Amino acid sequence: MSTIRNPIEWGIQQFRSAAKHADAMSRPGQTAAPQVRRIRVADLRDVLTRGVEDFAAYRSDIVLLCLLYPIVGFVLARVAFGYDLLPLLFPLASGFALVGPAAAIGLYEISRRREQGLQTTWADAFAPLRAPAFGSIAVLALLLFATFFIWLASAQAIYSATLGPEPPTSLSGFLRDVLTTGAGWTLTLVGLGVGALFAVATLTISVISFPLLLDRNVSLSTAIATSIRAVRLNPLPMAVWGLIVTGGLVIGSVPLLLGLIFVMPVLGHGTWHLYRKVVPH
C-alpha cells in the first residue's frame, strides 16, 4: 500500500538521489580518501591570521564581492517585518551560519589561488562554477539550504508552541514577551538548543567538504566522510572554530549587517586554512 510522504521525507529522498547522481557524474580516476590529522586549539590563531592576510591581500575585490551579504540580510529583514514574520528575524539572521560554508565557496577559491601564487581578482571567486566538481558542490550547497529552511520551519513551530500562534503586534511587544515571560524564556532556550543542533550538523558535514572538493578529485560522499572524520578526530578545535564562526557572525550582524562585509571574508579564508591544517598536502 502506498503512503504519502511528508515534505521532509520527500526532500531527504530527493537529496539522496541527487547525491548519487553527483557521485556518478564525478571525474574518473578519483583519488583515495585523504588522511586527516589532529590539530590543537592554538592552531586556530594561525588559521585566523592567514585568513586576515588573504583578506588584506585582496580587500578591494573581496569587499565588492561581499556586499552581497548585507544586501541579502536587509532583504530578509524586510520580509520579516513586512509579512508578520518577526519571530523568524533572529532565525533568519542566525541562518548565515548554516549557509555560510556554501556562500563562502568563492573565498576558498581565492585563498587556493593565492596559495599557488596565481594572479587573482574578484572574478576568480566564480571559478568554482566551472570546476569539474561543481555538481557535487551544488548538491552539498542545496543540502545546506534545505537545512536552513528546515531550521526556519522548526523555529516557527517553537514560536507557535510558546508565544504563538498569533504573530506579535509590534517589535517592542515581542521583545518584552521574549525577555520577561516564562514562555519567552522557553522559546529562547529551546530555540538555542535546536539551533545548536542544526549548527553542529552543518559544521560536521561541510567544514572540510567544500575546500576538499575544490582541491582534490574526490566524490561528494568521500568529501562528507572526510569532514566527519576531521570533526571526530578534532572535537575541541572544531567546537572552538564553530564558536568563533558564530561569534563572528553575531558581531558582524550587529551594525546593520554591514560587519559581514569584513567578517565573512576572514572566516571564509580562515576555513580554507583550517582545511590545510587538517588535511595534509
Hey, where are the domains in the chain? 41-278
Residue with cell 532583504: 75
Q: Are 142 and 15 in contact (CB under 8 A)?
A: yes
Distance of CA 62 to the CA centre of its chain: 18
| Gyration radius from the chain CA atoms | 20
Distance of CA 83 to the CA centre of its chain: 26
CB neighbours of 254 closer than 8 A, spacing ≥ 6? none
Name the residue with higher pLDDT: 227 or 1. 227
The whole-number pLDDT of residue 4 equals 46
Q: What is the pLDDT of residues 92-102, one digit of tens each?
A: 777 778 888 88
| CB-based contacts of 129-135 (< 8 A; 24+ apart in sequence) | 131/213, 131/214, 132/27, 132/217, 133/26, 133/27, 133/213, 133/214, 133/217, 133/218, 135/21, 135/22, 135/25, 135/26
In terms of average pLDDT, the best of 88-92, 152-156, 169-173, 251-255 is: 152-156
3-state secondary structure at position 207: coil
Of the listed ranges 9-18, 33-42, 166-175, the least confidently predicted one is 9-18
pTM, rounded to two decimals: 0.81
Instruction: Work out the average pLDDT over 98-107.
Output: 85
Residue 77 banded pLDDT, cuts 50, 70, 90: low
